[in-house]
Amino acid sequence: MTETGIGAPVRRTEDKRFITGKGRYTDDINVPHQTYASFVLSPHAHATINGIDTKAAEAAPGIVAVFTGKDVAEAGIGGLICGWMIHNKDGSEMASGAHPALANDKVRYVGDHVAMVIGETLEQARAGAELIEVDYGVLDANVETGKAKDKSAPQIHDAAPGNAVYEWAIGDEAAVDAAFEAADHVTSLDIVNNRLVPNAMEPRAAIGDFDAGTGDFTLHTTSQNPHVARLILSAFIGLAPENKLRVIAPDVGGGFGSKIFVYAEETLCVWAAGKIERPIKWTSSRADAFLNDAHGRDHETRAELALDKNGKMLGLRVKTVANLGAYLSTFSSSVPTYLYATLLSGQYNLPAIFCEVDAVYTNTAPVDAYRGAGRPEACYVIERIVETAARELNLDPVELRRRNFVAEFPHETPVIMTYDIGDFGASLDKALDLADYDGFGKRKAASEANGKLRGIGFSTYIEACGIAPSAAVGSLGAGVGLWESAEIRVNPTGNVEVLTGSHSHGQGHETTFAQFTADRLGIPMDQVSIVHGDTDKVQFGMGTYGSRSGAVGMSAMSNAIDKVIAKATKLAAHLMEASEGDIVFENGSFSVKGTDKSLAFGEVSLAAYVAHNMPEGMEPGLKEGAFFDPANFTFPAGCHICEVEIDPETGTTEIANWVAVDDFGTIINPMIVEGQVHGGIAQGVGQALVEGAVYDKESGQLLTGSFMDYCMPRADNLPSFKLGFTETVCPSNPVGVKGCGEAGAIASPAAVMNAVTDALGVKDVPMPASPATVWQAIQSSTKQAAE
Amino acid sequence: MPTVSMTVNGKSVSGDVSANTLLVDFLRETLGMTGTHVGCDTSQCGACVVHVEGKAAKSCTRLAVQCEGAAVTTIEGLASGGDLHPMQEAFRDNHGLQCGFCTPGMIMAGVDLANRRGNKLDEDTIRNELDGNICRCTGYHNIVKAIAAGAAAMDK
Ligand code: FES
Ligand code: FES
């Protein structure tokens, strides 16, 4: 391994601009003659719009234009879409209420967009928005996940009677019933996966621009997938043909799923820029981000696990209600179905699984993919119930897991996944070692001596990522394919541009991709530039989410690099008058076996562009592209162990120790991969201990609408983490990588809550296990013990 | 409109502002210095931290006119000539950033921390003192390491 080769912890190329204040995020960009947009948001969770008076706003100083839902409808602009069709158990299609970019006759959550006010300055736009008078007819709000379908619950969309989006199921119900009949022991668990606000630190922003001369639109936006955004804005919303719409996602300050989706604001900035023939800039406030960025999770689940007397798992039955909010966001429907229930087998040999999911509308912000998307919810169900079962059976939770681990691959689960490779025992062993599991008893005794409660919790997780085979997701209802593209553009002088459809918003692609390409081509890393995030520069691509940039994006690069090397090898053979079979490409140079003849990579590229001496029939130039469509999902897996110490006086939970051992397949840059794990764990610990979006049950107001009320994990909520890796090389792509972006967030909530419940000796504590919640749990369990 | 004058990164600057213009907006909009970021509206996240008269300050919570005559340092002014400040170097070397959005504020807070609490910073001190800065990407693990290393390097 060289200093910058595959596997080296190369320092990041992109850091230079970020540490010197020279990053270029959307809000850093200003376009000459730009105007500013401010949106009027609904203050009510549920109300009819009886009228909107815009006159005072239109007459206010500096107001350029005011638009309402009526204008958008009259212009024939399509509504925001959900791109994944889910079918009900009876085969019928899911119900989907219209989602106009500006509400027409009704608002459905606090923050729903009602009017767009465009001003010469931001202050003027905001002042104008204050002058819009909306006559609302306030309706009762329907907020609670578990009650959304109650007969008395207010009806949100005419198209979705009873507020049911779908009633979906997967697995073999009869087989599961039979397993429960035969069981010696059944463990059941009612758990809630709390609603989260993604809170990427960069708020969303957009600049829509229109060139009246050419008819071309440009959108600068905080997107994880600019091409997908363009496709949706063009083909589904109907703003402009794709060839007349350029979407640029420059530096993006974190996404975590929330920047996958197409929202009202960027849609309207593009559309209205065409109307007023001037650029329009909009930047979200944090307050608006809380209301409008698609939230995550929000499941209520009952799970039952059937086991025989030896602790062998026989069957799993799961019933989940998933809250999708007031409208279906871009990929929301897929999250509690194919991204969730298909992972309920965990790392275990579970012969039968049946899972039903009821998705419901409520008067809350749309819910969609948030780091892990469905898989953290699945991991939480299976890892919490396995740990609970172990306690009920008086078995070491490690032992119960071992008895049920899948050990042979490929392994087909009862919920349509085929695990291609893994070694679950290896990651567990390594984690136990790093966590000093044998010493836990001593540490627990020491905590007790100090008046503290100590607990340990495991999470042996698996997830499916690197999404995914296009045909497979198509058959499950996806409206798009999930391949990735790459183009390797070798310049005459031998340096290289890599054009990728993946998008980096913190993942360090400019480093990892350059490191990979440089290693493969045998050229210095600084001779490789990564181009991404601009539909005018990069061929079509599917973007970054689902931990897919390595497994899918880099695989496309790998295939394109193979094509470059193949062509260059042919040319080198011709130039050196050797046969192609005698050419060896190594360390950036083409040599003829058994001779001292060789040509450097740059000499061959120059020859390809000068083109004075080409082999018969070969075109000049050296540039190759590839589209990679994976044969399967990838399956990162591993073991997280969390040890907590709880102060029973205050209910405060401190994480005393964290070990994570992950199998991500081949690792290109371990420094970056470790960073991804750290960040994922922090988000999972956030969910488990401090975060939670709360709506008022009566009014539907978001009670946790700022960093003052919604607790973000801060440095002093977290420990330093001990990480380790095991490696089974992924057979489903040419790079051998599995993906690492979401694993931490998937594994960690279950590890924390298993540790907290272990410390307290209770079956369940709801997330977030805040000091007040933990203290309550302690009080009620002491009370129970006393009774 | 009041005019405000101050020194930013060693250069005298002045501009017309409203009485309610925030320091961060003066930096970003009037001066076009976009290294200082805005991540919230409740003075919680620290993406906007700069130094005013050598001390860390949240530029979203200060009016531009309050800084009349003051010396302000932003992330753009931390490196001297071509040399990165040791704290900048430490963030890069310890992978203390991912998306980079919180980073300017983190680095400015880190320098301030070293100025206040010395060059030998233990993990607990850093974690407690970092209460006013939120990062969503890194889980803080590497930020804590970076600040410890940066503070130590500032001693040299
Ligand atoms: S912008 Fe969040 S604290 Fe200043
Ligand atoms: S690096 Fe992204 S918020 Fe800190």
**Residue A694, amino acid:** V
Note whether A125 contacts B: Cβ–Cβ < 8 A.
Answer: no
Split at pLDDT 50, 70, 90, the class of A314 is: very high
A483-628 CATH choice from 3.40.50.300, 3.30.365.10, 3.60.21.10, 2.60.120.620? 3.30.365.10
Nearest alpha carbon, ligand 2 atom 4: B135
pLDDT number for residue A717: 96
Nearest alpha carbon, ligand 2 atom 3: B135
A289 Cα: distance to centroid of ligand 1 (angstroms): 14
Split at pLDDT 50, 70, 90, the class of A767 is: very high
CA–CA gap between residue A544 and residue A527 (Å, rounded): 24
CA–CA gap between residue A87 and residue A74 (Å, rounded): 32
The reply to whether residue B130 touches residue A706, judged by beta carbons under 8 angstroms, is: no
- Please determine, for residue A468, whether its predicted confidence score (pLDDT) is greater than 80: no
Cβ atoms of A133 and A52 within 8 Å: the answer is yes
The reply to whether residue B100 touches residue A251, judged by beta carbons under 8 angstroms, is: yes
Percentage of residues in chain A having pLDDT higher than 70 = 100
Residue ranges lining ligand 2, Cβ < 6 Å: A 201, 253-254, 506; B 97-103, 135-138
The reply to whether residue B74 touches residue A712, judged by beta carbons under 8 angstroms, is: no
Reported as a single tens digit per residue, the pLDDT across A360-376 is 999 999 999 999 999 99
Split at pLDDT 50, 70, 90, the class of A541 is: confident
H/E run at residue A475:
helix A470-475
CATH for B3-77 is 3.10.20.30
Please give the C-alpha separations between residue A684 and each of A221, A414, A679, B137, B143, in angstroms, as whole numbers: 27, 27, 9, 12, 18
Which residues, 6+ apart, have CB-to-CB distance to A156 below 8 Å?
A46, A97, A108, A142, A163, A326, A361, A362, A363
pLDDT number for residue A8: 96
- Please determine, for residue A475, whether its predicted confidence score (pLDDT) is greater than 90: no
Please state the atom number of ligand 2 nearest to the C-alpha of residue B100: 1
- Shortest Cα–Cα distance, A118 to chain B (Å): 18
Note whether A747 contacts B: Cβ–Cβ < 8 A.
Answer: no
Reported as a single tens digit per residue, the pLDDT across A725-758 is 999 999 999 999 999 999 999 999 999 999 999 9
pLDDT number for residue B142: 98
Q: Determine if ligand 1 sits within 6 Å of the CB of residue B35.
A: no
- Please determine, for residue A1, whether its predicted confidence score (pLDDT) is greater than 80: no
B82 Cα: distance to centroid of ligand 1 (angstroms): 29
Q: Determine if ligand 1 sits within 6 Å of the CB of residue B45.
A: yes
B101 Cα: distance to centroid of ligand 2 (angstroms): 5
B45 Cα: distance to centroid of ligand 1 (angstroms): 5
B86-154 CATH choice from 3.30.70.380, 1.10.150.120, 2.60.40.1180, 3.40.50.450? 1.10.150.120
pLDDT number for residue A608: 98
Same fold, A296-467+632-786 and A483-628: yes
Fold classification of A296-467+632-786 is Aldehyde Oxidoreductase; domain 4 (3.30.365)
Nearest alpha carbon, ligand 2 atom 2: B99
Q: What is the mean pLDDT of chain A?
A: 96
- Identify the closest residue of chain A to B78 by CA–CA distance: A20
Reported as a single tens digit per residue, the pLDDT across A482-509 is 888 999 999 999 999 999 988 989 999 9
- Identify the closest residue of chain B to A723 by CA–CA distance: B141
Average pLDDT over residues A228-251: 95
pLDDT number for residue B28: 98
**Residue A209, amino acid:** D
Reported as a single tens digit per residue, the pLDDT across A566-603 is 999 999 999 999 999 999 999 999 999 999 999 999 99
H/E run at residue A489:
strand A484-490
In terms of Cα–Cα distance, which of A523, A745, A517, A487 is closest to A622? A487
- Please determine, for residue A168, whether its predicted confidence score (pLDDT) is greater than 90: yes
Q: Which of A20, A674, A687 to substitute to test the interface with B, most B CBs within 10 Å?
A: A20
B145 phi/psi in degrees, rounded to 5: -60, -40
Please state the atom number of ligand 1 nearest to the C-alpha of residue A286: 2
Domain residue extents for chain A = 18-139+201-254+259-292, 296-467+632-786, 483-628
H/E run at residue A116:
strand A113-119
pTM of the model: 0.97
The CA dihedral of A451, B139, A658, A680, to the nearest 10 degrees, is 130
H/E run at residue B145:
helix B141-154
Pick B34's closest partner by Cβ from A28, A708, A714.
Answer: A28
pLDDT number for residue A39: 98
Q: Which of B141, B144, B145 to substitute to test the interface with A, most A CBs within 10 Å?
A: B141
Reported as a single tens digit per residue, the pLDDT across A379-399 is 999 999 999 999 999 999 999
Range A18-139+201-254+259-292: architecture per CATH = Alpha-Beta Complex (3.90)
For chain B, residues with pLDDT lower than 50 are: none
ipTM (interface pTM)? 0.98
Reported as a single tens digit per residue, the pLDDT across B34-67 is 999 999 999 999 999 999 999 999 999 999 999 9
Reported as a single tens digit per residue, the pLDDT across A640-654 is 999 999 999 999 999
Split at pLDDT 50, 70, 90, the class of A786 is: confident
The reply to whether residue A203 touches residue B38, judged by beta carbons under 8 angstroms, is: yes
Q: Determine if ligand 1 sits within 6 Å of the CB of residue B62.
A: no
The reply to whether residue A720 touches residue B123, judged by beta carbons under 8 angstroms, is: yes
Alpha helices in A354-463 (DSSP H): 375-392, 397-404, 424-435, 440-449
